[in-house]
Structure 1
């Protein structure tokens, strides 16, 4: 009797899931043209970090039309909306970023950007060169569908439209870190958060994921080396900060190549800027190095911090110089860490929606994402959504943050379906009514 009852319940549950999937697919088909239209508008009128005023107004107007509780001005220009089902259950957060980049668009599109903004005191062209326009449009689409399916929800959905993912302007704060500090994960308290990033390198119709560290922590640093100035013809009278800098740069590379177990602890130490001296025949007093560290787990990050300080001091001492290490420099992002248990729990949802053959276990990348600030506080899952047209070879697809960057509209419907189904399935499993 028990087996018969269990089989009947499993059959009922399976039918309920299929019916729910079918409803999501129907609504996604219906809203796709709106999602594309929103994406084109947002792409045509991008705004820089912490300056997303018209973008925020555009999004908030739509969310209010759905009858949602909408808050604006979060972390300066962010928009947060809450959908309350009226039934007990978890709070699921979905996040999209809003800002464009100071990049001139070189695509021949009817909805190409001609906008300009101010960056570092200069007028610059502005473009959505990383796909944030698609992220906003997909989240608006998911908000529309979930509102239509309110009777299927148990709990609340928090839609987070975040400014300044690309980094706040010099002298300002912004992005996910500030949203968290301002309480975006509270009132109501978020239980879990999901996010997608469009990829110009992955085929439309695919979703890529990685449990654990999926994108790197980013830690900028600055080293100022103080020596003793002398004539270039008499180097023995100097304490040469340039040769000290050269030794320091080479030694820093051995942190990764000789101190980390690279098969487990992938990391990057890059010196991206050197400033010192102004004439061929003068050894200067001072040299400044600026760079970035990327790590994918906490153990490696802690080791690089310790090794940086040790090497900078040791080499400076050995050369008779002094050095000041500032680490982190002006900002830093934690590791974008996909909670392994959450990833395993939600993987069947992604495979069902995208197809197992289109759900790809990917390697982590050393780029960074401030979605990581949410994941420090609550379990989160962040995945890559394919945006590359199928007829374009991967090697010919323009890179992110370039004037030619392009992703295809057809990839967004899958993103809407993934966000919607992740929310529904998580609620079904974690609500007080779950069997």
Structure 2
């Protein structure tokens, strides 16, 4: 196990009448034992999307003990806690995601996950390979701090503990979109929503934020190629969907590289699965392809979808095959994770106060996606989402195992950084500074 790196962060006085001797750093350190305990517990007991019952119960119990008004069962296992401060101010929602991934952990930790579960009809290992355990723990730490300063706290806080950020299981709804559909903001109208995510691409102590499109939209697609079954010895007697599907994949590679103006915005078209056939000497009737489309521009998004459908149809026709295409499919669709520019500029100032100006960078656009943008309610509520470094100082973050890897490692020095950064940003926003 690698040793944790605890940072000596600058002592910056937070606003909102917290107390002249108390900084966001000191307050973060005061709850660090609890945050670390929660994080390790959640890490050792991960739960898949829409199955976060144990995590949700712990969260709800802790919030109730702290005096929050708690709602449970939102989007299956989601939890919210509302705290009204003793002074006038704005309303802010802060979101953390709770779900883990169907990944078997390969990190040597005393609290490594040994959990197994059923996923897509098979037994899988379960791991917090994306750091959601830390997000949940840090938000609980913030809940503790806000509760202690309640009489001096301006405005109101809603803490949103979200299930199924990684996507609901096949055939189910879940995640941020379902929380919104279930009325998460029905009785609490936030003036802004903040979120953060730990990332292996940054070292501990570094925080990244970007105005505008920070993370790409994502759309899953599903293409079924219909051929005609025949014996492998006489392929001319049938229509080969394997060859046809292979040609569709090859032809689709030019959609981004030759049909899109990628000098304006990056875009990605990736095939993730190819399923067809049951035996080496039988040409099957069908092949199923799935994949993902990532864009930052609505026009480019539509262009990729139209081009992919046209390419698949024409390649199939040239081979005598047909297709059924769901482009996009209903499995996973997330909007661009858009940071309101004016709010982001103010949050960046808060982050610089919390962790040091030289430790805050402008994040590059990331073609990963998030369902956090659903909390913006179609652009009606400004949102800001920033990144917290998770790779130990001194290690090459670019070479570190990425989020979603079975070797993903979170240095716990990230915990006080995340708590301090979000605390400063939240208090500055609530008090209008």
Fold similarity call, TM over 0.5: yes
- CA 1:273 to 1:360, structure 2 compared with 1: closer, same or farther past 3 Å? same
Which is higher, the Rg of structure 1 or of structure 2? 1
* Larger RCO, structures 1/2 (Cα 8 Å, 6+ apart): 2
Q: How far did 1:280 drift?
A: 5.5
Matched, 1:78 2:78: yes
Are the counterparts in 1 of residues 24 and 354 from structure 2 also a CA contact under 8 Å?
Answer: no
- CA 1:17 to 1:347, structure 2 compared with 1: closer, same or farther past 3 Å? farther
Residue among 410, 413, 423 paired with 2:426: 423
Select between 296-305 and 106-115 the one with higher mean Cα deviation: 106-115
Which residue of structure 1 aligns with residue 332 of structure 2? Answer: 331
Q: How far did 1:207 drift?
A: 0.5
Q: How far did 1:18 drift?
A: 10
Select between 371-380 and 253-262 the one with higher mean Cα deviation: 371-380
Q: How many residues are matched?
A: 418
Q: How far did 1:26 drift?
A: 2.8
Are the counterparts in 1 of residues 93 and 193 from structure 2 also a CA contact under 8 Å?
Answer: yes
Matched, 1:393 2:396: yes
Select between 17-26 and 117-126 the one with higher mean Cα deviation: 17-26
Q: How far did 1:68 drift?
A: 0.8
- CA 1:289 to 1:68, structure 2 compared with 1: closer, same or farther past 3 Å? same
Select between 403-412 and 72-81 the one with higher mean Cα deviation: 403-412
Q: How far did 1:278 drift?
A: 4.6
Unaligned 5+ runs, structure 1 = 1-12
Which residue of structure 1 aligns with residue 272 of structure 2? Answer: 272
Are the counterparts in 2 of residues 336 and 375 from structure 1 also a CA contact under 8 Å?
Answer: no
Are the counterparts in 2 of residues 208 and 385 from structure 1 also a CA contact under 8 Å?
Answer: yes
Q: How far did 1:52 drift?
A: 1.3
- CA 1:260 to 1:81, structure 2 compared with 1: closer, same or farther past 3 Å? same
- CA 1:392 to 1:342, structure 2 compared with 1: closer, same or farther past 3 Å? same
Which residue of structure 2 aligns with residue 403 of structure 1? Answer: 406
- In structure 2, how many angstroms separate the alpha carbons of the residues matched to 1:384 and 1:315? 42
Q: Give the TM-score taking structure 2 as reference length.
A: 0.89
Select between 312-321 and 255-264 the one with higher mean Cα deviation: 312-321
Are the counterparts in 1 of residues 18 and 149 from structure 2 also a CA contact under 8 Å?
Answer: no
Which residue of structure 2 aligns with residue 90 of structure 1? Answer: 90
- In structure 2, how many angstroms separate the alpha carbons of the residues matched to 1:218 and 1:335? 8
- CA 1:14 to 1:128, structure 2 compared with 1: closer, same or farther past 3 Å? closer
- CA 1:244 to 1:45, structure 2 compared with 1: closer, same or farther past 3 Å? closer
Residues 201-222 of structure 1 deviation map (CA, whole Å, 9 limit, x = unaligned): 3111110122222222221111
Select between 18-27 and 257-266 the one with higher mean Cα deviation: 18-27
- CA 1:286 to 1:154, structure 2 compared with 1: closer, same or farther past 3 Å? same
Select between 125-134 and 306-315 the one with higher mean Cα deviation: 306-315
| SS of residue matched to 1:189 | coil
Q: Give the TM-score taking structure 1 as reference length.
A: 0.88
| SS of residue matched to 2:183 | coil
Which residue of structure 2 aligns with residue 297 of structure 1? Answer: 297
Residues 244-282 of structure 1 deviation map (CA, whole Å, 9 limit, x = unaligned): 323322221211111111122211111222233455665
- In structure 2, how many angstroms separate the alpha carbons of the residues matched to 1:96 and 1:77? 13
More helix by share: 1
Which residue of structure 1 aligns with residue 341 of structure 2? Answer: 340
Which residue of structure 2 aligns with residue 3 of structure 1? Answer: none
Are the counterparts in 2 of residues 24 and 145 from structure 1 also a CA contact under 8 Å?
Answer: no
- In structure 1, how many angstroms separate the alpha carbons of the residues matched to 2:15 and 2:229? 79
- In structure 2, how many angstroms separate the alpha carbons of the residues matched to 1:16 and 1:293? 43
- In structure 1, how many angstroms separate the alpha carbons of the residues matched to 2:338 and 2:214? 6
Are the counterparts in 1 of residues 164 and 174 from structure 2 also a CA contact under 8 Å?
Answer: yes
- CA 1:18 to 1:56, structure 2 compared with 1: closer, same or farther past 3 Å? closer
Select between 114-123 and 134-143 the one with higher mean Cα deviation: 114-123
- CA 1:242 to 1:348, structure 2 compared with 1: closer, same or farther past 3 Å? same
Select between 69-78 and 42-51 the one with higher mean Cα deviation: 42-51
Which residue of structure 1 aligns with residue 4 of structure 2? Answer: none
Q: How far did 1:408 drift?
A: 1.3
